Amino acid sequence: MAVTKVAVVQLSITGLSRYSRPELHKKLTFLLYQGIEAGADIIIFPALTGLLFAPEAQKILEYGIDAKTVQLVWRLGAYWTMEWLDFFRELAQSNRVFIVPGTTLESAPPTMWHRGYLLAPNGSVLLSQDQIHFSTEELALGFEPGDSLSIGELDQVRFGLLLGQDVWIPEVSRILALQGAQLQISLQANSSFYDYRKQLAGSWQLAQSNRVFAIESCLVGKGTKTQYQGLSGIFGPAQAFPPLGILAHIDPLLTSQASLDLGYLISPQKDKEGVLIRNLDFGLLRRAGEQDQVFSGFNYLLYNKELSLIYSETGGVEEVKESGKA
């Protein structure tokens, strides 16, 4: 398919404690139907959407993920993961649409994974992906980094998922691009300060450096002790989609803005719930020859010399630093 229509959900947890389970289902279905009515081929929900189905969802999302969350995941995670996936499977089947239902936390004690999925129109799981990189604090909670990157295919378009901080690790998006992923989907639930500059270093940058489409879907909203911040958007290489490669953004000023004002830190749309709709023209991307130009210019001799040592299992970063001082 040369053109794929995507719907990107920015989901707010503000007022979550007021929602009963039927009201939660109604809220998610309403957001999904914004994409259905627009004719979307794939509808994308943000990170931690699966936790809305947890027995103590309000406490987890409003107070943040901690040691108590880990215990809850160990005991009941499999049950709410099943309910969450079944809910979105039914929507995928009844509407014949691809759905990224967000992510959840899964475990096999004492290990825990942050995992995202893609569901096919028949309701089957087409792709699952674990987060690859975690902070020291997250590792201490028991998170286990994923050890592989998976590629899915939607009507001859290859794509991959990036969870959490993986979008800011350039090796992840480059590996996906080398595996042929022309669409890279970042699922976010940022509980720290988030602004345009951070987005420039993540989703927008990976679209430029790999000449692919990048999508960012964010969980937002204020809880009791945690506030999620995000700026959902759809990006492409600026060379193919001038002037900036910003195809759609939760802040409407950015979609058509000629330049990015980096001094403007807080978007008025930052905590807004909504759905971005956009046609992605992969034919145009291919005709521009953008990706071929990037990869044909690789300096393989240098990469083989330096990167093979840096990424060795013995931890060659320090050795490379020392050799650079010589």
Taking the C-alpha atoms of residue 3 and residue 290, their distance in angstroms, rounded to an integer, is 17
User: What backbone torsions phi and psi does residue 201 show, to the nearest 5 degrees?
Assistant: -80, -10
Going by DSSP bridges, is the β-strand pair 213-222/3-12 parallel, antiparallel, or unpaired?
parallel
Phi and psi torsions of 184, nearest 5° = -120, 125
Q: Which letter does DSSP use for residue 71 in this model?
A: H
Determine the pLDDT at residue 184.
97
Span 281-289, average pLDDT: 81
Please, what sign has the CA dihedral across residues 62, 67, 69, 70? Answer: positive
Spell out the domain ranges in the chain. 3-288, 300-326
Beta bridge partners of 108: 111
CA 87 to chain centre: 20
Residue 315: pLDDT over 60: no
Identify the pLDDT of residue 320: 43
The vertex-59 CA angle with 53 and 64, nearest 5°, equals 100
Asked whether the whole model's pTM tops 0.85, one would answer yes
Question: Helix or strand or coil: residue 246?
Answer: strand
Output the pLDDT for position 70. 85
Which of the listed ranges 149-163, 222-236, 288-302 does the model predict with the highest average pLDDT?
149-163
Express the helix, strand and coil content of the chain in percent, nearest 5 each.
40, 25, 35
Is residue 183's pLDDT more than 90?
yes
Among the residue ranges 88-92, 128-132, 304-308, the one predicted with the least confidence is 304-308
The architecture of the domain spanning 3-288 is: 4-Layer Sandwich (3.60)
How does residue 266 score in pLDDT terms, banded at 50, 70 and 90? very low
- Indicate if the pLDDT at residue 261 is higher than 50: no
62: pLDDT strictly greater than 70 = yes
Measure CA of the first residue to CA of the last residue in the chain; give whole Å: 53
pLDDT one-digit tens code per residue, 206-217: 999 999 999 999
